[in-house]
Amino acid sequence: MQHDLWVDVARRLWDRAGITTGSRVLDVGCGPGFATLELAERVRGTGHVTAVDVSPRYADYLRATAARRSLRNVSVVTADVQSMPIPDASIDVAYCRWVLCWVSDPAAVVKEIARVLRPGGLLAVQDYFDWQRLSLAPRSEIMDRVARAANQSYIAAGSDCDVVQRLPGMLKAAGLTWDFIEPHAFAVRPSDPLWAWPTTFFANYVPKLVEGGWLTEADQRAFMAEWAARSADDCTFFCTPTVYSVVGRKA
């Protein structure tokens, strides 16, 4: 569902990065492979997509899905994205979405991606800066409290949902030039099918924030009541966190 919300933004970035028939693409931290499968369709012919993720479960799921769709131009590798078994200078474009914010050393991941890019190759990143700005409109104090608590829980776990603010420096340190940056956010109404995405996220994550001590049970009750009320209010909307598209180029 999250992929469905952001897929048009991803496609525009792939266009900017010149991903087309024949491209050799690396999907870094591919997860279950929603982007991988679209990329494989895009590069059909002589193109190839290598998808890397540390999770064997995701890798198995992606292999099975690619086989079911008869996509023979996909290779799935189970590996840490900080140390990928991929030859030097073998990739035209690397795509990295919602990965750098979660890893312990994003600079090491950028450096590893730079290693596998050919000269002139591109790194296309989509990730967060100022994640905590997600909000409900009209403003909701309990929504703002939940957003702060979620961000604090991410920081405590070693994640950085402001990672894009450091990305230009990481690109430079890895020998890449910084070619492009563009912010993207969405406003979703309760009547939109994609209202289900934040609804599902908060239903799953708010209880974890209570378990972790970031929120109280009273906070949880207040938030769930507020969300239910807003879900029935045709004058409200939810603002997603801002995702930035960034492109770096290897000399």
Q: What is the pLDDT of residues 138-152, one digit of tens each?
A: 999 999 999 999 999
The per-residue pLDDT of the chain, averaged, comes to: 96
What mean pLDDT comes out for the span 235-245? 96
pLDDT in tens, 21-39: 999 999 999 999 999 999 9
pLDDT of residue 142: 98
Residue 197 has pLDDT above 80, yes or no: yes
What CATH number corresponds to the domain at position 159?
3.40.50.150
pLDDT of residue 132: 87
Domains identified in the chain, total number: 1
Question: What is the domain extent for residue 140?
Answer: 2-250
Residue 167 has pLDDT above 90, yes or no: yes
pLDDT of residue 6: 86
pLDDT in tens, 58-89: 999 999 999 999 999 999 999 999 999 999 99
Query: How many percent of the chain have pLDDT more than 90?
Result: 96
- With bands split at pLDDT 50, 70 and 90, how would you rate the model's confidence at 3? confident
What mean pLDDT comes out for the span 199-224? 98
Phi-psi region of 118 (alpha: psi -120 to 50; beta: other; left: phi over 0): beta
pLDDT in tens, 96-136: 999 999 999 999 999 999 999 999 999 999 999 999 889 99
pLDDT of residue 1: 64
